[in-house]
Amino acid sequence: MNKLVDQISALLADAFQAAGYDPAYGKATVSNRPDLCEYQCNGALAAAKAYHKAPIAIAGEVAAQLNHAAFSQAEAAAPGFINLRLAPEYLCAWLEQMRTDTHLGVPQQEPPRTIVVDYGGANVAKPLHVGHLRPAIIGEAICRMERYVGNEVIGDVHLGDWGLQMGLIVEGVRERQPDLPYFDEQYTGEYPDEAPFTISDLEQIYPAASARSKVDAAFSARAHEATLRLQKGERGYRALFEQIMKVSVADLKKNYESLDVHFTLWKGESDAEPYIGPMIQRMRDEGYAVQSQGALVVEVQTPEDTKDVPPCILLKSDGATLYATTDLATLVQREEDFHPDQVIYVVDKRQALHFEQVFRAAHKTGIVRPETRLQFLGFGTMNGKDGKPFKTRDGGVMRLEALMGEITDTVRQRIEQNQVIPPEKMEQTAHTIAVAALKYGDLSNLATKDYAFDIERFCAFEGNTGPYLLYTIVRIKSIMSKYGGEVDHLPLRPAENPLEKDLQLCLTRFADQLLLAVRDTAPNVLCAYCYELACAANRFYHDVKILQEPDEEKKQGYLALLRLTSRVLETAINLLGFTAPEQM
Ligand code: ARG
């Protein structure tokens, strides 16, 4: 279905043509002076230069052609604007179409583009902490938005499961249980099904091993050695690796689920391993991979560069692979499996240089096609109120579960005061609202910026917050249930009062704002729209007595409008990655 603003532009184009001007000047935009008009056209200002005529004269001639039923007002205004207001019947007819459209008026991408979103990025055997919150939240929103506009989206968690951290864990396990068969090189039997550790064991083993490697050179050397042997595919190491993965992934899944984050693929760096050998061989054969100071690298500096871009390292001198190697090999795999049009990486912005190198190497060596768009969406840090990276009270890295617990407690205290939630629904409701508070608090900021996590502000039921959006939806639902009748098929009515019309106009902008958010990979744009819509809904609701309205037809029109509002809001928050409770 056509966007309303495009439909209006088409009418403007006809009017420019009828008045003897190039129809290309007929472009409508949402007014930036809502006190004067609802839409505006600046085409006469641009046409003035080409036609050597006063803009206001052109605007006047075009406006005279706009005697279409779509407009209740079409006026030229100095120095050459055309100011437009929509006829309520026309607006209502468009909304009526939007209401029955499967995608609420959002045009679908034709043909669909295939997009891989690399987000999450948790590291195996390390507890999920706040540093992995932002990629999960932002990446999930991007996947959902892209899918809604008709694209084919593959979301990949891309676990960190291949670097030195794995060698550290292996050595950590060996210290504790040196007699395990995994470490016995003579062992030829089957390895046990049961993992020799729990997730809490693993979560102790990694930090301890990591700390030790910094002070104990012999231990560090053993960890490097173990990493290499694992990467070379030694049987015992590989079997132990599988156990680490099994235990860790089960725990990660649980954590991501609780955040309502769902990946299409649970791949990791280790899955790229089979692609590494052939990839490097080809790069050597084709002359892309060269020796440099003992390492094998791909040069990615170009003559246009004004800064130094270091080469992309494929192999260290000991033959170990690096982060860039697995990222390149993963692109080989993705090209083979999905042939994507675009790959979006949602990763900490401090990794910008790494991705610059990887993208250049991937294009240079033909791993991806020239037209494949490789995009790095680098996000900023989540800070505490003190402006420093968010920490626990005693200065440690905050675990995700602990953070969710704190937010849920704060929310629970709020809703307990309202006294509408029965005890058996309390936990679930508090969790639903907490997810909204956290995700909206994050997504409403520009992803690239750092932001301050402020639990009180994020959880407030008033203001620009997740809970406020939920509250608006819950309020509308409560009106619907007080009305009692079926509301889904009640007809919309042409607006009669200004706040009603404002709300209707705001609804028509859903498609525009979502498409903008998708174009700029910017969920914050959709957040801003949700807030605007919630505010418009609340103004309308406070101004108009809905259930007390004596005129039954009018009342039904109001209800139909609120129903469409709650559908759009619920759809939009769902794209952002959260849902509304029944009550709060
Ligand atoms: N595991 C990495 C980290 O914690 C993030 C992975 C990002 N994705 C990628 N393809 N490199 O920093």
Q: Is residue 52 part of a domain?
A: yes
**51 C-alpha to ligand 1 centroid (Å):** 56
Domain enclosing residue 24, as ranges: 4-86
Q: Taking 90 as the threshold, does the pLDDT of residue 128 lie above it?
A: no
Q: Taking 80 as the threshold, does the pLDDT of residue 358 lie above it?
A: yes
CATH code of 65's domain: 3.30.1360.70
Q: Taking 80 as the threshold, does the pLDDT of residue 516 lie above it?
A: yes
The atom number, within ligand 1, closest to the CA of 323 reads 11
pLDDT at 284: 97
| 337 confidence band (pLDDT: 50, 70, 90) | very high
pLDDT at 418: 86
Rounded Cα gap, residues 344 and 36, in angstroms? 41
Q: Taking 80 as the threshold, does the pLDDT of residue 315 lie above it?
A: yes
Q: What is the 3-state secondary structure (H, E, C) of 526-537?
A: HHHHHHHHHHHH
Query: Taking the alpha carbons of 90, 93, 97, 100 in that order, is the dihedral positive or negative?
Result: positive
pLDDT in tens, 542-571: 999 999 999 999 999 999 999 999 999 999
pLDDT at 501: 97
pLDDT at 85: 97
pLDDT above 90: percentage of residues in the chain: 89
Rounded Cα gap, residues 512 and 501, in angstroms? 18
The atom number, within ligand 1, closest to the CA of 354 reads 11
Testing ligand 1's pocket by substitution, the residue of 330, 347, 368, 374 carrying the most ligand atoms inside 8 A of its CB is: 347
pLDDT in tens, 286-297: 999 999 999 999
For ligand 1, atom 3: residue with the closest CA: 121
Q: How confident is the model over 129-142, as a mean pLDDT?
A: 92
Q: Is residue 206 part of a domain?
A: yes
Q: Is residue 70 part of a domain?
A: yes
pLDDT at 577: 98
Q: Is residue 307 part of a domain?
A: no
| 104 confidence band (pLDDT: 50, 70, 90) | very high
pLDDT in tens, 456-483: 999 999 999 999 999 999 999 999 999 9
pLDDT at 367: 98
Q: How confident is the model over 507-525, as a mean pLDDT?
A: 98
Q: Who's near 536: CB < 8 A, 6+ residues apart?
A: 499, 502, 503, 506
Label residue 336 exposed, middle or buried (CB < 10 Å: 0-12, 13-18, 19+). exposed
Q: Taking 80 as the threshold, does the pLDDT of residue 394 lie above it?
A: no
Q: Is residue 496 part of a domain?
A: no
Strands (E), 299-356: 312-315, 342-348
User: Tokens standing for 252?
Assistant: 């990660």
Q: Taking 90 as the threshold, does the pLDDT of residue 536 lie above it?
A: yes
pLDDT in tens, 264-282: 999 999 999 999 999 999 9
What is the number of structural domains in the chain? 2
Q: How many C-beta atoms surround the C-beta of residue 52 within 10 A?
A: 6
131 lines ligand 1 (CB under 6 A): no
Among 55, 86, 117, the domain-final residue is: 86
pLDDT at 60: 97
Q: Is residue 208 part of a domain?
A: yes
Mean pLDDT in the chain? Answer: 95
For 146-169, the DSSP string reads HHHTT-EEEEE--BB-SSHHHHHH
126 lines ligand 1 (CB under 6 A): no
pLDDT-wise least confident of 32-36, 38-42, 129-133, 358-362:
129-133
pLDDT in tens, 188-209: 999 999 999 999 899 899 989 9
For ligand 1, atom 5: residue with the closest CA: 121
118 lines ligand 1 (CB under 6 A): yes
Q: How confident is the model over 66-83, as a mean pLDDT?
A: 95
Among 86, 120, 144, the domain-final residue is: 86
Among 57, 86, 115, the domain-final residue is: 86
Q: Who's near 209: CB < 8 A, 6+ residues apart?
A: 168, 169, 171, 172, 175, 219, 223
Q: Is residue 544 part of a domain?
A: no
Q: Is residue 198 part of a domain?
A: yes
Rounded Cα gap, residues 287 and 365, in angstroms? 9
| 384 confidence band (pLDDT: 50, 70, 90) | confident
Please provide the size of the chain in residues: 584
pLDDT in tens, 431-459: 999 999 999 999 999 999 999 989 999 99
User: Tokens standing for 220?
Assistant: 């560090």
- Is the backbone peptide bond immediately before 310 cis, with ω within 30 degrees of 0? no
Its pTM stands at: 0.95
Q: How confident is the model over 495-511, as a mean pLDDT?
A: 97
pLDDT at 319: 84
**132 C-alpha to ligand 1 centroid (Å):** 10
The atom number, within ligand 1, closest to the CA of 131 reads 4
